[in-house]
């Protein structure tokens, strides 16, 4: 389980990034990648992974797997994209990829893993896609409901699952 101080630091960092790259409620993930010179590759990789961050020849590239529904426009793909950006922005994830201490690994998003690195990337991704300030401002019913979650997921172009976790 992630400690509160770590969650707060990740939330603040993700919100700081999203602040410069949000159009209405939607975080512009491609613009973030472009600003960091991260290549984007969307292709068919069968069922191997949803997304992967690779450091290759002095540059980072994000690979998204269309075979698992990960396109830039799809809520699932937006989460996968944000998750891979998380690995880039979190120094403890990025540096081992750059030095070769860690090999690139494909991320499969099922929200059931107990891997600390993946949990941090999932949390950062949710904060990047749904920054706290904006998330709290979206009009919603006072009473929590499934309908509220659907409205929030539409407002942020995120999956129902990612929205409910946030």
The whole-number average pLDDT for the span 133-159 is 83
The whole-number average pLDDT for the span 65-91 is 95
d(CA 161, CA 83): 14
Q: Tell me which H or E stretch contains 55.
A: strand 51-56
Buried b (16+ CB within 10 A) or exposed e, 71-89: eeebbbbbbbbbbbbbbbb
pLDDT grade for 2, boundaries at 50, 70 and 90: confident
Average pLDDT, the chain: 91
pTM of the entire structure?
0.92
pLDDT of residue 140: 63
pLDDT of residue 107: 82
Query: Quick count: other Cβ atoms within 10 Å of Cβ 155?
Result: 19
pLDDT of residue 32: 98
> Is 120 in contact with 6 (CB distance < 8 Å)?
yes
The whole-number average pLDDT for the span 146-162 is 89
């Amino acid at each position: 389980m992630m400690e509160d101080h770590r969650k707060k630091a990740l939330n603040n960092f993700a919100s700081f990034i999203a602040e410069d790259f949000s159009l209405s409620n939607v975080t512009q993930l491609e613009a973030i990648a472009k600003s960091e010179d991260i290549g984007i590759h969307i292709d068919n990789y069968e069922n191997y992974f949803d997304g992967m961050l690779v450091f290759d020849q002095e540059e980072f590239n994000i690979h998204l797997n269309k075979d698992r529904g990960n396109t830039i426009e799809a809520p699932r793909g937006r989460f996968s994209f944000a998750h891979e950006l998380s690995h880039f922005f979190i120094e403890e994830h990025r540096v081992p990829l750059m030095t070769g201490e860690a090999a690139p690994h494909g991320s499969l998003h099922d929200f059931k893993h107990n891997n600390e690195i993946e949990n941090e990337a999932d949390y950062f991704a949710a904060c990047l896609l749904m920054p706290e300030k904006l998330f709290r401002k979206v009009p919603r019913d006072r009473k929590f409901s499934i309908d509220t979650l659907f409205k929030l997921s539409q407002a942020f172009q995120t999956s129902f699952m990612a929205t409910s976790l946030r």
